[in-house]
Amino acid sequence: MKGALFDLDGVIADTAVFHFKAWRKLIKDNFDRELPDELEEKTKGVSRSDSLKVILDYLKIDLPQAEFNRLAAEKNNVYRGYLQTLTEKDILPGMAKLISDLKEHGVKLALASASQNGPFILEKLGLSEAFDAVADPTKVAKGKPAPDIYLAAADALGFKPEDCVGFEDAIAGVTAINDAHAVSIGIGSKKEVGKADFCFDKTVDINYADVKRAWENFHE
């Protein structure tokens, strides 16, 4: 196990809820419509524009490109507003320890988030220094569930995906890790991450020894 590839929202930081809260506010403010809970999972791990497409499809709203772009930008402004108060305290339970244990054991770390706010959030959490690489979601051809961002993250560390583990909280992300042929560690319910090679209910349940064992078991 040479590299650890991390999703961000819902894995390192408790920011997944802010994304959906921002979508809900955007749709309420612009169309006076509500979004059902089940759309949250459908937009998890999915890029900003793909998420907006999912939401507009659900609402059966068709928009010209300029209006679509304006809404995507407005959502990001709302979301960035929610991030203002983010600090180290918003690192999900157990993840700071996991990150430092991985580093202590010589494992290199890369971010494989779909979010263009990744570097900003890492900075707010005091984790920028901990990461050896951040894959740029704007530079990959296809977003999650395609494997591209995980392939780019492994490549940025100089490793084959097979030598890496990936951590995810969303269906789209687990599919991306599996198709990149890294070992997938899912965090959440079976319904969300059941296709992962190994699953943990919550971030607090994950520790270095179990991750290493998971990687070794997979490669036996």
| Rounded distance between C-alpha atoms, residue 2 and residue 110, angstroms | 11
- At closest approach, how far in Å is the CB of 150 from ligand BG6? 13
Residues in the chain: 220
| Rounded distance between C-alpha atoms, residue 172 and residue 219, angstroms | 23
Residue 166 is a binding residue for Mg ion (CB under 5 A) = no
Written as one string, the DSSP assignment of 95-160 is HHHHHHHHHHTT-EEEE--S-TTHHHHHHHHT-GGG-SEE--GGGSSS-TTSSHHHHHHHHHHT--
Q: State the binding string over 170-189 for Mg ion (x if CB under 5 A, else -).
A: x-------------------
| Rounded distance between C-alpha atoms, residue 130 and residue 96, angstroms | 10
Residue 192 is a binding residue for Mg ion (CB under 5 A) = no
- At closest approach, how far in Å is the CB of 42 from ligand BG6? 10
Given 9, 50, 148, 163, which residue is catalytic? Answer: 9
211 binds, among Mg ion, ligand BG6, none (CB under 5 to 8 A by kind): none
Whether 7 is catalytic is: yes
Residue 45 is a binding residue for ligand BG6 (CB under 6 A) = yes
Whether 9 is catalytic is: yes
Q: Are 173 and 7 contacting, i.e. CB atoms less than 8 angstroms apart? A: yes
Q: Which is nearer to ligand BG6, 43 or 178 (CB)?
A: 43
Residue 124 is a binding residue for ligand BG6 (CB under 6 A) = no
Q: Out of 9, 41, 50, 192, name the contact with Mg ion by CB under 5 A.
A: 9
Question: In the numeric block, which tokens belong to residue 194?
Answer: 């059941």
Q: Out of 19, 42, 108, 124, name the contact with ligand BG6 by CB under 6 A.
A: 19
| Rounded distance between C-alpha atoms, residue 76 and residue 22, angstroms | 8
Give the residue numbers marked as catalytic: 7, 9
Which residues of this chain interact with Mg ion, rule CB under 5 A?
A: 7, 9-10, 45, 169-170
